[in-house]
Structure 1
Amino acid sequence: MLADPRTRAVLDELTARLPADRLVTDPDVLASYAHDEAEWAPWTLPVAVVRPHSAEEVQAAVRACLATGTPVVPRGAGTGLSGGANAVAGCVVLALERMAAVLEIDPLERLAVVQPGVVNDDLRAAVAEHGLWYPPDPASSPWSTIGGNVATNAGGVCCVKYGVTRDYVLGLQVVTGTGELVRLGRRTAKGVAGYDLTSLMVGSEGTLGIVTEVTVRLRPLRGPERTVAGYFDSVVDAGRAVTAVAEAGLTPSALELVDRHCLAAVDAWKNMGLAADAAVVLLGRVDTPGAAGDAEAAALQSAFEAGGASWAAVSSDPVEADALFAARRLAYPALERLGPVLTEDVCVPKAAVPAMLARIEEIGARHETLIANIAHAGDGNLHPLLITPAGDAAARTRAQAAFEEIVAAALELGGTVTGEHGVGLLKRPGLHAELSPAVQAMQAALKAALDPHGLLNPGKAI
């Protein structure tokens, strides 16, 4: 590797601009930074990994790459599921996990300023000490970082009521594709000066700039939630209940779908005693305080029953309720123990949830592919998990065909190819099917304007 002139040039530039311990070239370590959790998304070893400690060091690394024409792939915790952090040929991976400080919490303005390597749950715990709450909570919140959440516009369990990451990002510090260190956005409650470049950066997957600091909006800490559980004989019945919840005018603080495959996998791994006498469980939560919250929980139970639940109840056991939601978060790593998991992330209108779940079931059966289902069902964001035996090439081929058919079905039903995981590498064909040529050209023009050398996470997202 070191004999290649371009590699030698970028390593020399990085060595000259950064402290020695920031640069990694050991092949075994490089391999651990080469890809995220997206099954079968292509990757290669980077020529180096840079682990900066400050925005200025990120800027120095980007300028070294600009000077040598070297691609830069930013990386958070590597929990992504679309290949957005995968290394490309000849690149430097910019790993931001050491920039992990909560820089400021302002209770008066209800905001926090953090570095991109701060873990989502760590931010939530820090602001809770001030009676505040950061709502975006992807299932990976115990591991994923705020920078990665910003890159993919992550959602999570609470987003059905409280929105996604973009709704909470007030401002950013960013290293641009020309090596400038700039601030975008604001700290005020209102502000419409200039184009909204902050929102443009959120969800851009590191293709328009490298985020080095994030200012987020906070909410007051909530009181206890009430949990409603419903058992269903099929995913389609559970989908009908999701539609019934919407038709009843309810906006729960969470509405999650978990099927029997997921519960069994978590139970086998963690021995949580989760055996449910149902094919699918819907988990709803209500955080409205007082008698109004009691009425809302009862209405949610009624909607489950109207949708065809074989059993539904407002939980009287908070420990059991928390265990069910913990199982929802653990579903993906638990299923990984069964074999390679190809994860979908389609989102459809709420009215189309029953039809989409039926299509997923049919596609899985036709391709002889085991599909486990979890979903942020309340906003139509479905995560079918396609599971294949390790080393079974034929099963992999069938699963990949099923994956593409699920994407096509979501688009046919008026949906989108990704709700929160990002396009990365896996969803680029689907993105091109979703967006018109004119819109694709607009996105390419934005990329060319903000990253004129085409070095920021090339080949991803657009």
Structure 2
Amino acid sequence: MNDLAKALPGLTLIEDGDVLSGLSHDDAEWAPVGRALAAVRVTDAGEVQQVVRACAALSVPVVTRGAGTGLSGGANATDGCLVLDLSRMNRILEIDTENLLAVVQPGVINNDLKAAVAEHGLWYPPDPASAPWSTIGGNVSTNAGGLCCLKYGVTRDYVLGLEAVMGGPAGEYGSRVRFGRRTTKGVSGYDLTGLFVGSEGTFGVITEITLRLRPAPAAEPRTVVGAFDGLVAAGAAVALCTRRGLQPAALELLDRHCMQAVEDWKHLGIEPGAAALLLARIDAPGEAGAAEAAAVAEAFTDAGALWAEQSTDAVEAEALFDVRRLAYPALERLGPVLTEDICVPRSAVPAMLATVEEIGQRHGVRIATIAHAGDGNLHPLLITPPGDAEARRAAQAAFEELLGAAIAVGGTVTGEHGVGLLKRGGMRQELGPEVCAVQRAVKNTLDPLDLFNPGKVVGAPDAS
């Protein structure tokens, strides 16, 4: 510790046990957490370089974190590491209204960026449910999606370029490298920006991000709500919307467990009378928007909805989407929540929802389900009573079985939360040994010392 402190003059190492404990993990339930040596909060890229150089010289691993809202253990400390906290690197450096882009530090909160660009009539679309708290750096590290990614894409679609502090072929550890561009097109060399997006801090430390923006939507969105007597029926409505070529800006699912948990917590006046709700947001303007909303409502009805209606009250409509965003923290109040993030082909959504119910019943695990249903990204939430070791083992077994079930129908073990620690086994099952070997080779090339977030995603250097 003394050597590290001497190597970082001007920076204050955090050694207090309680503070260090809070900085040593994200929100992933039951993901292992190592014992960090210390933590440090930085404010600019120069300080990041100083930290990386010192840690490389002393063989101290670096685990980078933002707001700690991750759900896969990707920001969890490893034994003997230095936790590098980027939350104070929170400046919006530029908003370029002519070229529709913004340049930000990684600690900028997603919703703060949205609010800032909205003042210029612009919009940053990626909107994970954690947008009020999660950072852009964290969103980039996991390639976060959100409610509107069905129509507008995920974080990777908006990252034009970035700056990172790294080592390996870039030179000595602590080298500051820029990837990407500010132009709308560009194929000069490999897409190293895209490689960094979703890499979960395993290649280096992202210190600046250049983001594509869009003009703000011109029309007030319309909301279509459909109520169903079961998850499978709601899934059938999603599949029918896809077959009919409908593309709402968002198509979200939440079940009765989620609605009841939010109502018990926030008392919003939501009556969870149905087993599941589908919420569709239509942002096409004028007659086109009206026609699309009617078509979505018709698809819900044709798929067996108990009822399907267009909301005529914008406040009421937004309240329903607020229920969707509040579902996870509401369920956390009931006990430990192990969060799935499987994504399946949209045609497989009904069958996968049936499988979720079957696995939960067979293992005796209470599962509440929310989903970005329109793109097949399902979030079964496995809830266990606090302190119940047997229930925890059952939930973990159900969790692993859900991963295998998603792979079996052509899906993936993570749509937007990342691999981190929780999904390493599932990733190896999904990708196979040849692809995993390629990933390990890329990691070894860009980070030969295994300094950055070791053990995450691809696992330890000798992991199979």
Separation of aligned partners in 1, 2:180 and 2:78: 31
Instruction: Please show how residues 435-454 of structure 1 align to structure 2 within 5 Å.
Output: 435-454=431-450
Q: What pairs with 1:299-310 in structure 2 (closer than 5 Å)?
A: 299-310=295-306
Report the CA distance between 1:320 and its aligned residue: 1.1
1:298 match: 294
Q: Secondary structure at the match of 1:435?
A: helix
Distance 2:259 2:35 in 1: 36
How far 1:277 sits from its partner (Å)? 1.6
The aligned counterpart of 1:216 is: 211
Instruction: Please tell me the residue identity of whatever aligns with 1:139.
Output: A
Residue identity matched to 2:109: V
Q: How far apart are residue 275 of structure 1 and its match? A: 1.1
Q: Please provide the CA RMSD for this pair.
A: 0.8
The answer as to whether partners of 1:77 and 1:144 remain within 8 angstroms in 2 is: yes
What amino acid does structure 2 have at the position aligned with 1:114?
A: V
1:224 shift after superposition: 1.2
Aligned equivalent of 1:193:
188
Deviation (angstroms), 1:10:
2.3
TM-score by length of 2: 0.97
Determine the structure 2 residue equivalent to 1:127.
Answer: 117
After TM superposition, give the deviation of residue 301 of structure 1 in Å.
0.4
The partner residue of 1:98 within 88, 103, 123 is 88
Tell me how far 1:225 sits from its aligned partner: 0.6
Measured in 2, the distance between the counterparts of 1:388 and 1:276 equals: 22
Please state how far the C-alpha of 1:276 moved relative to its aligned partner. Answer: 2.6
Partners of 2:386 and 2:184 in 1: CA distance: 51
- Superposition deviation, residue 461 in structure 1: 1.2
Letter of the 1:397 counterpart: R
The residue type equivalent to 1:203 in the other structure is G
Partner Cα distance (1:357, 1:49) in 2: 42
CA distance in 1, matches of 2:83, 2:399: 28
SS of 1:257's partner is strand
2:69 pairs with 1:85: no
In structure 1, the partner of 2:44 is: 54
- Picking from 301, 306, 316, the partner of 1:320 is 316
Query: Residue 128 of structure 2 corresponds to which residue in structure 1?
Result: 138
* Residue matched to 2:148: 158
C-alpha offsets along residues 421-446 of structure 1, whole Å, 9 cap, x if unaligned?
A: 00000000000001121111110110
Matched length: 452
Question: Pick from 382, 385, 393: which aligns with 2:381?
Answer: 385
| 1:380 to partner: Cα distance | 0.2
Deviation at 1:54, TM superposition (A): 0.2
Matched letter for residue 398 of structure 1: A
User: What whole-Å deviation, never above 9, does each CA across 1:14-42 have from its counterpart, x for those lacking one?
Assistant: 2x3xx24x421111110110100000000
Give 1:209 deviation, angstroms: 1.3
1:141-178 CA-to-partner distances (Å, cap 9, x unmatched) read: 00000000000000000000000000000010100132
Q: What is the match of residue 9 of structure 1?
A: 3
- 3-state SS of 1:359 partner: helix
Aligned to 1:369: 365
In the alignment, which residue of structure 1 is the partner of 2:170? none
The 8 Å contact of residues 160 and 378 in structure 1, kept in 2 or not, is answered as yes
Residue in structure 2 matched with residue 3 of structure 1 by the alignment: none
Partner SS state of residue 182, structure 1:
strand
Q: Deviations over 1:37-63 (max 9, x none)?
A: 000000023111110000110111011
Which aligned pairs between 1:174-253 and structure 2 lie closer than 5 A? 174-177=164-167, 178-222=173-217, 223-253=219-249
CA contact (8 A) 1:30 1:45 kept: no
Residues 395-451 of structure 1 deviation map (CA, whole Å, 9 limit, x = unaligned)? 000000000000000000100000000000000000000112111111011001110
Q: How does 1:390-429 map to 2 (within 5 A)?
A: 390-429=386-425
Question: Which residue number in structure 1 is paired with residue 18 of structure 2?
Answer: 28
Q: CA deviation at 1:8?
A: 3.2
- Correspondence 1:430 to 2:420: no
Matched residues in 1 for 2:122 and 2:30: separation? 40
Q: Does 1:67 align with 2:54?
A: no
In structure 1, what is the Cα distance between the partners aligned to 2:402 and 2:4? Answer: 42
Match of 1:345 among 341, 348, 354: 341
CA contact (8 A) 1:448 1:454 kept: yes
State the distance in 1 between where 2:202 and 2:134 align. 19
Q: Which residue of 2 aligns with 1:263?
A: 259
Alpha-carbon separation, structure 1, partners of 2:380 and 2:166: 36
Gaps of 5+ in 1: 1-6
State the secondary structure of the residue aligned to 1:436. Answer: helix
Q: CA deviation at 1:370?
A: 0.4
Question: Which runs of structure 1 show a deviation greater than 3 angstroms over 4 or more consecutive aligned residues?
Answer: none
- Give the Cα–Cα distance (whole angstroms) in 1 for the partners of residues 302 and 106 of structure 2: 44
Match of 2:461 in 1: none
AA at the equivalent of 1:301: A
- Give, in whole Å, the separation in 1 of the partners of 2:120 and 2:49: 33
1:257 counterpart letter in structure 2: L
Supply the AA of the counterpart residue of 1:391: G
1:323 deviation in Å? 0.6
Q: Give the residue type in structure 2 aligned to 1:236.
A: V
> How many angstroms apart in 1 are the aligned matches of 2:156 and 2:278?
27
Structure 2 portions without partners, runs of 5+ = 168-172, 459-464
Q: 2:98: which partner in 1?
A: 108
Aligned counterparts of 2:209 and 2:238: Cα–Cα separation in 1: 34
1:9 deviates by 2.4
TM-score (norm 1): 0.97
Q: Distance in 2 between matches of 1:271 and 1:46?
A: 40
The one-letter code sitting in structure 2 at the alignment partner of 1:181 is R
